[in-house]
Amino acid sequence: MSGSRQIVCPQCAGINRVPNDKPAGAARCGKCSTPLFSGKPVEVNAEAFDRHVQRGDIPVLVDVWAHWCGPCRMMAPAFEAAAAELEAGVRLLKVNSEAEPAVSARLGIRSIPTLLLFAGGREIARVSGAMAASQIVSWTRGRLASAA
């Protein structure tokens, strides 16, 4: 299979073309040499959020959270464990709703934690409330399979 997919660097937000026949999990950024996947969620600001969702060719799972939110803090280790399992097929991002209120408003966030799943630059699913890692992985894979 020929062609490539665009993957956004978690460090510098550079756009990287990764050949389809090469494993994305081992790829490094051509701009800053950072691995494109670390098995951990990426904390992003509004600009990086838009870049990952709009320019990346892989699905993006976003956790909208806040420091003061107990369920958000409880779910953080589960979201990190889900990242280790879902990457490099899905990019996992974290958006702090207090630091990025414009992103939260644009996404219509009413409660946190909220998970949003994007594919092809558009939202395909969302769910609110804390979940275990296995639930996050299952929910994500199920929604992606339904959208395919």
Task: For the chain, list the domains and their CATH numbers.
Answer: 39-147 (3.40.30.10)
Q: Is 12 a catalytic residue?
A: no
Task: State the pTM of this model.
Answer: 0.95
- Going from the C-alpha of 8 to that of each of 79, 83, 115, 126, the distances in angstroms are 20, 16, 20, 22
Count each helix (H run) and each strand (E run) in the chain, helices first.
Answer: 4, 7
Q: Which pLDDT score is estimated for 2?
A: 63
Query: How many whole angstroms separate alpha carbon 32 and alpha carbon 107?
Result: 30
pLDDT at 7: 96
How many other C-beta atoms are found inside a 10 Å radius of the C-beta of residue 98?
A: 12
pLDDT for 1 equals 46
Active site residue 69: yes
- Taking the C-alpha atoms of residue 133 and residue 125, their distance in angstroms, rounded to an integer, is 17
The encoded tokens of residue 53 equal 């969702």
Q: Which residue in the block uniquely carries the two structure tokens 């990025």?
A: 100
- Catalytic residue, from 12, 29, 32, 72: name it: 72
Q: Which residue stretches of the chain have pLDDT < 70? A: 1-2
